[in-house]
C-alpha cells in the first residue's frame, strides 16, 4: 500500500457511512439489500443490478477513464452501474476518480474505497456523492 493509499484509507474510514447515514432512498436500498450480502462485490452488483447492467473500467488506465466513459455514454441507460477500480491507489487514480464524479453525466457516485460506482440515473434530480462503509 502506498502512502497515498494509506492516507486515503484513513479519510475513507473517517467519513464512510452505513445505511443509517444515507439520505438517498436509492442508495439506502442498495446498501440494505445489496451490500449486506457476503458475496464478492462483482457478484453483488450482478445480482442487484443485473449482469448486463454492470459496466467496468477494469482494464482502462486512470488517465483514460474520462474518455472511456464518454465513449460508453451512448450505450448507457439509467439502469447501468459503472465500476471504476482502485480509485485510491495513487494520487492520479484519486484525481481521475474526482474528475469522473464531477463530470456532467454522472449524477450519483459511491466510494467503496476499493472501487467506485457511478450512475447516470436521471430520476435522481440532485448530484450526490456517498462514501459507504464496505464491507459492512
C-alpha–C-alpha distance, residues 36 and 133, integer Å:
11
- Looking at the predicted structure, is the pLDDT value of residue 134 above 80? yes
Q: In 3D, which of 57, 52, 85 has the Cα closest to residue 72? A: 57
C-alpha–C-alpha distance, residues 118 and 111, integer Å:
9
Residue 12 within any structural domain of the chain:
yes
Residue 106 within any structural domain of the chain:
yes
Residue 76 within any structural domain of the chain:
yes
User: Of 35-49, 54-68, 117-131, where does the model show the most confidence?
Assistant: 54-68
Residue 36 within any structural domain of the chain:
yes
Query: Percent of the chain beyond pLDDT 70?
Result: 99
pTM comes to: 0.94
Question: What pLDDT is stored for residue 39 in this prediction?
Answer: 87
Residue 49 within any structural domain of the chain:
yes
Question: What pLDDT is stored for residue 71 in this prediction?
Answer: 96
Report the number of distinct structural domains present in the chain.
1
Could you report the per-residue pLDDT of 38-49, keeping only the tens digit for each? 889 999 999 999
C-alpha–C-alpha distance, residues 90 and 34, integer Å:
28
Residue 136 within any structural domain of the chain:
no
Q: Are 120 and 78 in contact (CB under 8 A)?
A: yes
Residue 81 within any structural domain of the chain:
yes
**Domain region containing 59:** 3-131
- Looking at the predicted structure, is the pLDDT value of residue 136 above 80? no
109: β partners: 118, 129
Amino acid at each position: 500500500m502506498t502512502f497515498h493509499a494509506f492516507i486515503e484509507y484513513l479519510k475513507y474510514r473517517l467519513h464512510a457511512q452505513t445505511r443509517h447515514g444515507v439520505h438517498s432512498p436509492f442508495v439506502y436500498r442498495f446498501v440494505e439489500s445489496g451490500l449486506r450480502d457476503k458475496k464478492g462485490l462483482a457478484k453483488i452488483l450482478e445480482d442487484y443490478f443485473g449482469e448486463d447492467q454492470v459496466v467496468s473500467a477494469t482494464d482502462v488506465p486512470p488517465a483514460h477513464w474520462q474518455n472511456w466513459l464518454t465513449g460508453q455514454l451512448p450505450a448507457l441507460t439509467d439502469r447501468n452501474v459503472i465500476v471504476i477500480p482502485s480509485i485510491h491507489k495513487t494520487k492520479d487514480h484519486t484525481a481521475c476518480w474526482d474528475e469522473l464524479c464531477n463530470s456532467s453525466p454522472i449524477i450519483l457516485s459511491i466510494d467503496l474505497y476499493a472501487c467506485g460506482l457511478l450512475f447516470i440515473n436521471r430520476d435522481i434530480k440532485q448530484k450526490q456523492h456517498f462514501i459507504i462503509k464496505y464491507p459492512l
